[in-house]
Structure 1
Amino acid sequence: MNRAPALWPVDPDDPRAPTAEIWEQLTPEQRREIVDSLPSEFPLDEAAPPEGDPHWHPVTRARTTLDRWFRRAGRRVYVSGNLAVYYPGERVFSPDVIAVVDVETHERDRWVVSDEGKGLDFALEVIVRGRRRKDLQRNVEWFARLGIPEYFVYDRKRGSLRGFRLASSAAKAYEPVIPQRGHYASRVLGLDLVIEGGRLRFYAGEAAIPDTDELLDKLGALVDAAEQRAHELEMRLDEEARAREEEARAREEEARAREEEARAREEEARAREKAERQLAEVMAELERLRRERGGD
């Protein structure tokens, strides 16, 4: 349990950050002590009941898609969700997805507006089964009063999306975001929110930003294609190796045949020489015998 400093007692049943007036009177050490004492978990009456995968999946896809997009774009946009958010003197709350532009993107366990020097720029709630009044009535009025420039609500069960935007920094009531061809423009994100196939998607211009599942599927397809190409290449190399081995064997057999032919010619030549030599010897012997008989 975090220790609540005496200068700003923190009620565990209703934890709140100091008001702006009190914050201005605190020293940096006192501010840090108070921020560290604010719980990152929610009071039971504020925490939403678990809604399982139907809620978890779209929230996770939205967070990871936005975080990856801004990191690749080189934009300093902090993306998080289910994070305890403390506005000065206000009750703690936690949208499903939040974004704050032009801030450091390091990990946090709470967002204290006075400490960060900035409030939320974008909030998104995902409705699965209940609490529509909280998301579509209370939050619409509350977030506008807090000065959150944009607020979107995705109702997964109904496959609907609603967007709200402050017309100016001085406005205290939202105006609806009017979709264009099904695209709800977010000026904060520089992206469009679209319901496509019953799913919440983000678009950059006319191109859908792939989510993690799609990237993994694409990566899997690329890996499968690479493995197939590697297999085909291996088979081709094996065939070429077998062809070279067969060619080498043919050359060896041809060389052996030439050697055998040369040996046969040599043996034939030796046999012919031997026969000629034997014939010469016989002829010489016959000549000798004729001379001997003629002498008699």
Structure 2
Amino acid sequence: MPPAQPKPARSLKRPPRSAPKLQQPANTPVDPPARDDEDRYPDLGVPPMISDHWKALEDSATLLETRYADRDDVFVGSGLTIHYVDGSEDRAIQPDVFVSFGSPNRSRRVWLAWEEGKFPDFVLEVASKSTYRRDEREKRAIYERLGVAEYWQFDPTGEYLNPILQGRCLNAAGTYALLPLTTTPEGGLRGVSEVIALHICAEGPRLRLFDPATGKFLLNHQEEHRGRLAAEAEVEQLKRQLASR
């Protein structure tokens, strides 16, 4: 009788039946064939989320993907499982959004830290009823131990975090220190991320990214579309004015 096969490690979270996926930037290289290790280590799946949570997560991930779309050495991940101990399939964590500099911009099924040679530089977690306690304690401790330079949290509902925006950076001792926040004239909160060189702004349920180099907010797809429509309407109005002279 052949020896019994070992049972595969169980995933930490039960994946939902389906979950929306963010589109890869147009210039993302074609995926290479999956490596044996990537097949071995499980994807934790994406937990169910309310619309405000998903909107904040989707906007943040898409804006950062667009910002670094022309960089081959920057990877933006969303809902990607990070395995951080070789040989331990259950030693894994799943950031809502993360940025890793010096990492190839290619699609991955999971992130294997020992093969990538590093951990993310920036992590954002969007608070929800089912995740905020783990974000606040267990995940923060893991990110700190792994050396993630900046860890940000945002609560689009205002029910779980006070204040609703919180940022932390590693200090000289290798522990997280709170980053200062300022109040905007509109009553929102703003913090500065040195890692991604952007201002992170909480405006009610919205999380916006402001580029101090251009003096403008990064625009999501809806804002870009409205801007194009407004510009086209302005051109048509100018044409009518010129034609009536």
1:165 corresponds in structure 2 to 169
- For the aligned residue pairs, the C-alpha RMSD in angstroms reads 2.9
Higher strand share: 2
- Comparing 208-217 and 80-89, the one that deviates more: 208-217
1:38 corresponds in structure 2 to 41
Give the deviation of 1:198 after TM superposition: 4.1
User: How many angstroms apart in 2 are the aligned matches of 1:188 and 1:140?
Assistant: 17
Q: What's the CA shift string for 1:144-183, capped at 9, x where partnerless?
A: 1121111111011117101111114x61x21111224543
Counterpart check, 1:120 vs 2:88: no
Indicate the SS of the match to 1:221.
helix
1:245 corresponds in structure 2 to none
Give the deviation of 1:75 after TM superposition: 7.3
1:274 corresponds in structure 2 to none
1:147 corresponds in structure 2 to 147
2:59 corresponds in structure 1 to 61
User: Does the 8 Å CA contact 1:10/1:38 hold for their aligned counterparts?
Assistant: no
User: How many angstroms apart in 1 are the aligned matches of 2:216 and 2:233?
Assistant: 25
2:79 corresponds in structure 1 to 82
Indicate the SS of the match to 2:191.
strand
User: How many angstroms apart in 2 are the aligned matches of 1:115 and 1:70?
Assistant: 22
* Unmatched 5+ stretches in structure 2: 14-34, 184-188
User: How many angstroms apart in 1 are the aligned matches of 2:58 and 2:73?
Assistant: 20
Indicate the SS of the match to 1:71.
coil
Higher RCO by CA contacts (8 Å cutoff, separation 6 or greater): 2
Q: What's the CA shift string for 1:65-90, capped at 9, x where partnerless?
A: 11112236x57321121111111146
User: Does the 8 Å CA contact 1:14/1:91 hold for their aligned counterparts?
Assistant: no
**Change over 3 Å in CA distance of 1:188–1:34 after alignment to 2:** same
Paired AA for residue 218 in structure 1:
G
**Change over 3 Å in CA distance of 1:34–1:104 after alignment to 2:** closer
User: How many angstroms apart in 2 are the aligned matches of 1:97 and 1:145?
Assistant: 18
Larger radius of gyration: 1
Match of 1:71 among 49, 69, 72: 69
User: Does the 8 Å CA contact 2:72/2:105 hold for their aligned counterparts?
Assistant: no
User: How many angstroms apart in 2 are the aligned matches of 1:79 and 1:109?
Assistant: 13
User: Does the 8 Å CA contact 1:54/1:128 hold for their aligned counterparts?
Assistant: no
Higher helix share: 1
User: How many angstroms apart in 1 are the aligned matches of 2:138 and 2:77?
Assistant: 22
Match of 2:220 among 200, 211, 235: 211
User: How many angstroms apart in 2 are the aligned matches of 1:14 and 1:197?
Assistant: 32
**Change over 3 Å in CA distance of 1:53–1:116 after alignment to 2:** same
User: How many angstroms apart in 1 are the aligned matches of 2:72 and 2:106?
Assistant: 13
1:184 corresponds in structure 2 to 191
User: How many angstroms apart in 1 are the aligned matches of 2:155 and 2:206?
Assistant: 10
Q: How does 1:1-296 map to 2 (within 5 A)?
A: 10-13=8-11, 32-42=35-45, 48=47, 50-71=48-69, 74=71, 76-88=73-85, 89=88, 91-158=91-158, 160-168=164-172, 171=174, 173-181=175-183, 182-205=189-212, 206-229=215-238, 232=240, 236=243
* TM-score in terms of structure 2 length: 0.73
How many residue pairs match? The answer is: 207
* Unmatched 5+ stretches in structure 1: 1-5, 16-31, 241-296
Paired AA for residue 83 in structure 1:
L
* TM-score in terms of structure 1 length: 0.61
Give the deviation of 1:97 after TM superposition: 0.6
